Amino acid sequence: MRTEKNGRYTRVIIEPGEYFSCANATVISTLLGSCVAACLYDPVRQIIGMNHFLLSSRRYSQGLPSIVPDAGRFGIHAMELLINDMMHKGADRRSLRAKVFGGAGIFKNSERVDNFMCVGEVNCRFIRDFLAKEDIPLDAEDLGGEYGRVIHFSNGDFTVYHRNIGHNRSHKLAVRDRHCWLKAIAIQEKVMPDIDYW
């Protein structure tokens, strides 16, 4: 996990297997391929959180190196860890809402025939089923497809800015991503009070 500061605002970049939640003026970012990120928020208490899970279950982990802890690698654990962390910070589970992203079939044109051929599709199915079972309304989704995504989740108005990563990459993409963060800060400035956070 990495952080950047801009005045009283923070940007937190999470990696695969990680999660983060907060009640202050923050943008949470991540880069997704076949992984899925669930952006959860309690609009009443203004608490947001995001996770980044690699696999829906242990079944798809055969032969993978242990690059991240099991705790956040699998969907069911990643969701419970994030929800519990948000509740610890004051969120009410009954008020949670969700926006979800990722689950790309990034190996669709590949000759690979291993576990990763369908992992994006399975991850998409898992997150929809989990949210439905837990009665967490799904307000927005951008799942599946053939391209990865960069997403930025903003507290204040709970907007998720996202960009597809296609074949036509540009050197200006990093500038565009920073512009998304600065735009989110401007919105947070309007809707979040100027108070000290602890």
Report pLDDT digits (tens) over 152-192.
999 988 999 988 886 555 445 555 555 665 666 666 666 65
Give a yes or no: residue 197 inside a domain: no
Give a yes or no: residue 33 inside a domain: yes
Name the strand (E) or helix (H) holding 76: helix 75-88
Supply the pLDDT for residue 74: 82
Give a yes or no: residue 27 inside a domain: yes
Report pLDDT digits (tens) over 18-57.
999 999 989 999 999 989 999 999 999 999 999 999 875 5
The long-range contacts involving 10-15, CB below 8 angstroms and separated by at least 24 positions, are 11/152, 11/181, 14/50, 14/51, 14/52, 15/52, 15/68
Supply the pLDDT for residue 89: 97
> Domain containing 98 — which CATH number?
3.30.1330.200
Supply the pLDDT for residue 197: 34
The mean pLDDT value for 113-129 works out to 79
Structural domain for 102, as ranges: 2-191
pTM: 0.79
Tally the domains of the chain: 1
> Is the CB of residue 99 less than 8 Å from the CB of residue 43?
no
**Cα separation values, 35 from 39, 89, 148, 181, Å:** 13, 26, 9, 22
Question: Between these two residues, 53 and 112, which has the higher pLDDT value?
Answer: 53
Give a yes or no: residue 97 inside a domain: yes
Give a yes or no: residue 198 inside a domain: no
Mean pLDDT of the chain: 81
Give a yes or no: residue 196 inside a domain: no
Give a yes or no: residue 177 inside a domain: yes
